[in-house]
Amino acid sequence: MSALDRSTVHHYAKLANLAFSPEQADVMAHELASILEYVNKISELDLSDTEPTFSTFGQGCHTREDRTEEGLGAEEALRNAPDKESQHFLVPKMIHTRELK
């Protein structure tokens, strides 16, 4: 396995529409390399004497019956909101869009 470097992390970050500072990219490269190293260790396990597992997919789906319940009104839902406007929660902007090149 080749080592992950800053440019590889920046490439994957761009594909995921993320942005990392050079320092963050170095930390991420180290963390991702550790994860991949662990995955490689797992893939080296000898499982020849291990019975295959089975899927529980065919065992049915146990769900509860749908039922409606009274919800919160806007006034009650917003009662403890730190910042609100009319009938809406106000929150800080978390996603900044940028053009991909």
Average pLDDT rounded to a whole number, residues 11-16: 93
Summarize pLDDT for 57-93 with one digit per residue, the tens.
777 777 889 999 999 999 999 999 999 999 999 998 8
pLDDT digit string (tens) for 15-61?
A: 999 999 999 999 999 999 999 999 999 999 998 998 888 776 777 77
The pLDDT mean for the chain works out to 87
Distance CA 68, CA 34 (A): 47
Q: Are 6 and 29 in contact (CB under 8 A)?
A: yes
CATH topology for 6-42?
Answer: Histone, subunit A (1.10.20)
Domain boundaries, the chain: 6-42
